[in-house]
Structure 1
Amino acid sequence: MSKYKCIIFDCDGVLIDSEPIAIGTLVDMANHLGANINLKDALVNFKGKSLNVCLSFISKRIDAPIPVNFEQDYRINTFEAFRNNIKPIRGINEVVKNLTIPFCVASSGPENKIRLNLDITGLLPYFEGNIFSCYALQKWKPEPDVFLWAAKTMGFTPTECLVIEDSVSGVKAALAGGFDVFGYTAHDYKNELEGLATKTFSSMEQLKTII
């Protein structure tokens, strides 16, 4: 039997395959401002980073402040793209529907984005009432705050919880909070999670066997 009493899932890249859509949209918009960012590089360098970090990078590339309406337009564009293209991570439905312990989602994205993408992919009923967003705290990974908040609200200590993450910043956040963290490596482009996470896995089928 698992030693864990609660599982905390990251959202983007763990529950839903949203990062290529979100990063692709961000790169298109940034390049219209003259940022000249390569999409392949952005998929590696923006992965798991807060939007504020990405916008700071873009601002330096264009040597100018980000336009006032940029974030609002980005949300509008990505939400439309999500509605048309978002899909769950392969195998995640089987994982969550067969879990026999409490679980939740803790994400760097705003709650309306989390809810939209979980709803479109059919995952929202599993997480209703157990959604934790960094925006509520104004603290982002690699700070551990969102995971600590999720664990406390769910009624468990960090040592009783397992975090599932796919980014370096997310893994570091979990470790900083005293959690075990399993790293999903399907899109670990630079092989950074091996040796950093408590364990790593490359498919949701594999995750079912190790939790």
Structure 2
Amino acid sequence: MVQHIIFDCDGVLIDSEILSFAVDEKLLPDYGVTITAGELARNFGGVTYGEMIAALNARFGAEIEAVSYQVRCEAELARTFESELRAIAGIPDLLRNIADPVALASGSDLARLDQCLRLTDLAGFFEDRVFSAEQVARGKPAPDVFLLAAQTCDWVPEHCLVIEDSPSGVLAAKAAGMQSVGFLGGAHRSAADADILRDAGAGYVAGNSAELHGYLQDLGLISG
């Protein structure tokens, strides 16, 4: 029985992925890599900068240094977020209708999560139940961050439902012994992406916040 909900952040709570991959599309040509934001979203949603850069270096024969690239991207993205970041439509209302505490488990670092939750007025829904891949040995698709969230909150993994927009996140949930819902409400996703989430193991795919609300209501996890 599902009793607890763990949300991913980027592309689930906040419409950040479209902004993030647009920054990558803008900066990567400086390193000899030309790739669209859409392709980056399909291939690298939910993974760490290090994993993305390793894959791009191998594919394009580039020599990008992941740490310095991340620092550059995060600085550019922080400026973009201050003026353009928004919560995904319907998410604040959905969170208000969940009676029990919820958690957040993300591949983003804690400083970025703090900024994003502050800018979108979502921090109060999660309080101290915010977890980052920087706190564990391995990022998604490894289960580490989800297991950290469950352990810290004293939740049984088998009783947790993860809301994810990326295949790597769905795979991480499965590896953690948790059920998952794929979410397509972010601007970087389309209905055509449903199959990649189902193939990764999502038990249900919600096209938007209204569909997610209905699904959680059917499970008895949400009221209103």
Name the aligned partner's letter for residue 104 of structure 1: A
Alignment of 1:75-114 (within 5 A): 75-114=74-113
TM-score in terms of structure 1 length: 0.92
Name the aligned partner's letter for residue 71 of structure 2: Q
Name the aligned partner's letter for residue 204 of structure 2: K
Deviation, 1:66, is 2.3
Alignment of 1:43-192 (within 5 A): 43-60=41-58, 61-66=60-65, 69-186=68-185, 187=189, 189-190=192-193, 191-192=195-196
Deviation, 1:62, is 4.9
Provide the secondary structure at the position in 2 that maps to 1:4.
Answer: coil
Is the 8 Å Cα contact of residues 49 and 66 (structure 2) preserved in structure 1? no
Deviation, 1:5, is 2.1
Name the aligned partner's letter for residue 4 of structure 1: V
TM-score in terms of structure 2 length: 0.87
**How many residue pairs are counted as aligned between the two chains?**
209
Take 1:157 and 1:194, find their aligned partners in 2: how far apart are those partners? 24
CA RMSD across the alignment: 1.7
Which of 2, 5, 14 in structure 2 is aligned with 1:4? 2
Is the 8 Å Cα contact of residues 5 and 160 (structure 2) preserved in structure 1? yes
Deviations 1:51-90, CA, capped at 9 Å, x for gaps:
1111113333253242763221111111111111111111
Structure 1 alignment gaps of length 5 or more: none
Is the 8 Å Cα contact of residues 147 and 174 (structure 1) preserved in structure 2? yes
Take 1:9 and 1:138, find their aligned partners in 2: how far apart are those partners? 20
Provide the secondary structure at the position in 1 that maps to 2:196.
Answer: coil
Distance 1:83 1:62, change over 3 A: farther
Which structure: greater helix fraction? 2
Take 2:155 and 2:38, find their aligned partners in 1: how far apart are those partners? 39
Deviation, 1:185, is 2.8
Counterpart position of 1:21: 19
Take 1:177 and 1:88, find their aligned partners in 2: how far apart are those partners? 27
Is the 8 Å Cα contact of residues 10 and 107 (structure 1) preserved in structure 2? yes
Provide the secondary structure at the position in 2 that maps to 1:26.
Answer: helix
Structure 2 alignment gaps of length 5 or more: 217-224
Deviation, 1:166, is 0.9
Name the aligned partner's letter for residue 15 of structure 1: L
Counterpart position of 1:194: 198
Which of 27, 30, 55 in structure 1 is aligned with 2:28? 30
Take 1:184 and 1:157, find their aligned partners in 2: how far apart are those partners? 23
Provide the secondary structure at the position in 2 that maps to 1:7.
Answer: strand
Counterpart position of 1:208: 213
Name the aligned partner's letter for residue 210 of structure 1: Y
Distance 1:67 1:47, change over 3 A: closer
Of residues 29-38 and 64-73 in structure 1, the stretch that sits farther from structure 2 once superposed is 64-73
